Structure 1
């Protein structure tokens, strides 16, 4: 008798975008998402998206919610779940045939509750080379501890980060000693320091640390993000491309400046 399973099921964690609905205007939401996909197709094209109705005073009816799902799919993303909020959200998810994911709602409640994360460590001027830790291809979910602070021990990546590769520094800073190639992604709960060209994507403060920063010696990034706020290459002044820059978050806006 064959006891080997045809499919092995494991419970993992993946990075999924969360769309917080603040104004239930299907046409406007669809156009906003279409614009995001057009500006950064490598980031948002066919991206999995969780829909969060927690920002509304009233849960939408199934017809309106279905219209939104259809609009978002037409815009180029793939709604895969609803963020858990109330029993009404649960009933809506059942009517739409979608699962509920609870962690996203918790992250917003934490951020809007005024939790102030500890500032990430200052950039290391001369990091000592060390063997790279294995790349992680998935991103853990939001946690209160991760948003509160990043530990002082950073992850050092000494090998180039190549297209399709993802490096994630869990609850700490990430230092890349060489290149981040186009199509590659580097992520840290703390700050990101890149001592070579950045041609791919860099995301700092991945679990909500708004004090995290990105430092780069040669800036050609496809996308940069801090605590969920992002800019794509088309939004970045041409005079900063190829320069050494620092990137930070100020009043919920990404700021980029050349380093002296």
Structure 2
């Protein structure tokens, strides 16, 4: 008998987005997701998504849940599972033919201390804030041997207020500079590079339209996820010795590189 397996199954960690439903407004949810995919297709296009109905007072009916799944697929993402919740959610998963995930990696802290996952809040485009009168902090110096930093093609966007949980900041066709904190559950996206002069605890995505020369710089690195031109790393993949340090992130040979800054 041939005992060699035709397929080798391994259980590992993969990057899966979590969409926590706060309001069962299917057209709005679909439009929000479509906007995300259009803004950052290399990151969100055909992304695997776990649907979490835990933000609702009760589980949706099968027809509403199926309409949401169909709409999200049409928007460009792939719902792959439901987040574990009540017995109603378990029955719903069986009716929809989707698995349940009992534990999801991305739990975030909101200001009121409630654990949430970033998803359904409508994307916000903040108007550029005026530059402060004082001399801004100098950009971190790249480590020796690293590729040269890409120059911004247009005037960059400056975000002077903290970026809080559930908030998304997007710099269209330019660099983004955040002068303070990017909180857990927050998301900053730029078509160019991202510069963060405070702690990065949420997500930072540079080169959203495919610019592989874009970079991410931050003063204090605790990122849930960093991505450049659609390639990404999550917290579990980041060396512990880099956490809390000033770092830069760039793309080299299709791989995300992270190095401490002097």
TM-score between the two structures when normalised by the length of structure 1: 0.50
Higher RCO (CA 8 Å, separation ≥ 6 residues): 2
TM-score between the two structures when normalised by the length of structure 2: 0.50
Higher helix share: 1
